[in-house]
A and B are shown apart, each in its own frame.
Chain A
Amino acid sequence: MSKQINVALIGNPNTGKTSVFNSLTGLNQKVGNYPGITVEKKQGVCKLPRGVKAHIIDLPGTYSLNASSLDESVVIELLLNKNDKDFPDVAVVVSDVENLKRNLLLFTQIKDLEIPTILVINMADRMRYKGISLDIDHLEERLNTRVALISTRKNEGIDHLKNLITNYKDISVTPCLDTSEIDKEYFDNLRKAFPNQLVYKLWLVITQDVNFGKIDRNEIDAIANFKTKSKADLKRLQQKETIKRYQFINSVLKNGQTIDASQAKDLRTKLDRVLTHKVWGYFIFFIILLTIFQAIYDWSSVPMDFIDSIFASLSEWVKDTLPSGVFTNLLAEGIIPGLGGIVIFIPQIAFLFLFISVLEESGYMSRVVFLMDRIMRRFGLSGKSVVPLISGTACAIPAIMATRNIESWKERLITILVTPFTTCSARLPVYLIIISLVIPEGRFFGLGYQALTLMLLYLIGFGAAIISAYILNKILKIKSKTFFVIEMPNYKLPLFKNVVLTVVEKTKSFVFGAGKIILAISILLWVLASYGPGPEFNDAEAIVKKEYASQNLSEDELQRKISSQKLEYSFIGITGRAIEPAIRPLGYDWKIGIAIVSSFAAREVFVGTLATIYSVGSDEEETIKNRMAGEVNPILGGPLFTFASGVSLLLFYAFAMQCMSTLAIVKRETNSWKWPTLQLIIMSSFAYVVALLAFQLLK
């Protein structure tokens, strides 16, 4: 029987920990959350030599075991709780060859918890560029562990690492530092009070208020024969511990590492000078954005048209092949068009995530964060707010969770409240379909109008977020201060494997997550659109035939009139017409109204809803875009999707809070219904007013 061991991957941010995780697990990984909190939990399985299986958990990046954020406390809680099902048999600390000294602080802390700990030194391929040489034997001897020198980029050293993990029982658990050196008397007392516990674990509990089995800091305080120290004294002792650790690390690296600066062939400084320049930095960022949006359009059009025609043909095939009846109609008119409405956007979403992933992997995204900090400060946001705002281009939910590392409550609250303005991937299908209907295909200096419109919408979202932040900063009377620290990783060629995994994972979660909701809503909408009360629906055929008896309508025209009459008096038609007075001033008909209401569940449902509504009763093989383009405005005549109504709809979606999941997460993060309620009312009202003004001015 094969044996399974728990392996914890731990490391500072930007050490390539995720690359190591990907190299070990490949596609055998899944992403979830830690119970009760919203910190991402990545797990995977790796097959090791001798039939051993490793359950690998990629823990959040942390600089030390002195937690200052929720992400870091997750690492400590796991390492202190032997009863946790994920408690590691072996810890793998991933470090970066260029920042070994700083990375070793975390390594020594973990080693002192008496867990077998392997040191991985990643990015070995950069050693010759930086003039670095290492004496691995010396490092292994002094750190009393096994060291794996690897390069995930070149896929070197991974097998050696797997062997070390397999033989983890051979690794010494002797601590690097004698903890009692920090304060002999204090630690002696601690040892006497808790003879069965590891002193360093107790020390972490005392200094960080993290749970440790059944002992927490209050219980430690409550034991009469042990008096802990004041917070100031504990802080002083923590500093002393850090100094002692660095003294040890310096002594290890003195003979274990040589850096010859004259051998370094460093491009980084030259690149940083240009990419973070106060003028050129923004200019280059702007050019990169333009290129991305143009490429999204240019590269996606062929696969999108292909997918669209496939779904149209599939509907037709289902109708022709299956026995006629209501379930066949549900498949052909409800489920297939509804799903087609989301699948069609896979190429564009994949390209967007491809570019974002390349920018992140190359190290450029950190420069953008640094660059934008200069702007953010003027609007009352932290430089750290840039991360949620950029993450918001994927989804507002993880972006709002990412605000947890902003120390100032005021800045965090403002970031939470404004992040939903950034253009998330769920808005993308809505934008793309409307843009393709109302914006001409011409080009301006080689850039398509459609791509420029899409980029403008992203800028509008970002602009709305920072202007709202400025207003909130003036209105909210909360006093707090913060500072901005960001690590600039080295520039590197993006790893193909990492980019592909990111694109696949993000696209998959978008399609499957949204797909399930759209499938359910498509079924519901089809039923509501296919059944109705009263004689207007049930006797639709007789009514239409009587009404048009004098006109010589063809069979096709007659069928279309009957379908139209049925849809209008179906359950969905009745509901849509009830809300129509409120949306008519914006240039929308009741069908768009229904799509807006249903897309409150998730914005991308909008396109699927329209696809379903327009398909009901239709016998023709038509693409979603063609069906929407052929819709006629019931009041004004002419196309329903004009430039005015299209722009109005785009602006409505740019500003409206159309996402129940985001509201739920805002409630959870602020621990109050006050903020999501205000967010919903203000954003939706603002969206309505802007959409109204846009339509009335442009019509």
Chain B
Amino acid sequence: MVTMNTLIQNILVVIALVFAIIFIVRKFIWKPTKSKKACGGDDGCGCH
């Protein structure tokens, strides 16, 4: 039987994984277009 702890831990892993995938996709594969009037943010070059 699946305990509450196992269920919560699995949910947390799935959430972490979804966030990680979204971050990687947005960073390297598909970037949402920015408004030209925006200042460019504090990480314009996308590097480290």
Contacts and interface: CB of A to CB of B under 8 A. Distances in A.
A325 B37 CA distance: 47
Contact of B16 (A33, A330, A516): A330
B17 A510 contact: no
Interface string B1-42: 000011011101100110111011001100000101111111
Contacts of A662: 47
A355 B43 CA distance: 24
Nearest to B24: A520
A36 interface: yes
A70 to B, nearest CB: 14
Nearest to B21: A524
A189 interface: no
B16 A523 contact: yes
B20 A602 contact: no
A38 B5 CA distance: 49
B9 A325 contact: yes
Contacts of A396: 47
B47 A398 contact: yes
A395 B47 contact: yes
Contacts of A30: 42
Given A325-B9, A516-B23, A521-B20, A510 B40 contact: no
B48 A398 contact: no
Contacts of B28: 601, 660
The size bracket of the interface on B is 20 to 34
A330 B20 contact: no
Interface centre among B34, B38, B41, B47 (most CB of A within 10 A): B47
A426 B48 contact: yes
A535 B43 CA distance: 45
Contact of A327 (B9, B39, B41): B9
Nearest to A328: B9
B20 A32 contact: no
15 contacts: A32-B40, A32-B41, A35-B36, A38-B44, A325-B5, A327-B8, A327-B10, A327-B12, A327-B13, A397-B47, A509-B48, A520-B21, A521-B20, A527-B13, A665-B45
Given A326-B13, A327-B13, A330-B13, A36 B36 contact: yes
A601 B26 CA distance: 13
Contacts of A664: 46
Interface of A: 30-36, 38, 41, 43, 85, 323, 325-328, 330, 395-398, 401, 425-426, 509-510, 513-514, 516-517, 519-521, 523-524, 527, 601-602, 604, 660-662, 664-665
B24 A524 contact: yes
B6 A33 contact: no
A81 to B, nearest CB: 12
B47 A35 contact: no
Given A31-B42, A36-B36, A397-B46, 11 more contacts: A35-B37, A43-B39, A327-B8, A330-B13, A395-B48, A398-B47, A510-B48, A517-B48, A520-B21, A524-B24, A602-B47
B48 A604 contact: yes
A520 B48 contact: no
B10 A41 contact: no
A524 B48 contact: no
A517 B27 contact: yes
A35 B10 CA distance: 42
Given A601-B28, A602-B48, A604-B48, A35 B5 contact: no
A685 to B, nearest CB: 22
B42 A524 contact: no
A190 B13 CA distance: 69
B24 to A, nearest CB: 5
A519 B19 CA distance: 10
A330 B47 CA distance: 26
Contact of A326 (B9, B38, B45): B9
Contacts of A35: 34, 36-40
Contacts of B23: 516, 520
Contacts of A330: 12-13, 16
A517 B23 CA distance: 8
Contacts of B16: 327, 330, 523
Interface centre among A32, A513, A516 (most CB of B within 10 A): A32
A664 B48 CA distance: 14
Contacts of A327: 8-10, 12-13, 16
Nearest to B34: A35
A32 B17 CA distance: 29
A340 B4 CA distance: 30
A24 B41 CA distance: 21
A31 B17 CA distance: 30
Contacts of B5: 323, 325
A398 B45 contact: yes
B11 to A, nearest CB: 8
A323 B12 CA distance: 13
Contacts of A41: 39-40
Contact of A33 (B17, B27, B44): B44
Interface centre among B37, B39, B45, B46 (most CB of A within 10 A): B45
Given A32-B39, A36-B36, A325-B5, A523 B20 contact: yes
A662 B48 CA distance: 11
A257 B40 CA distance: 42
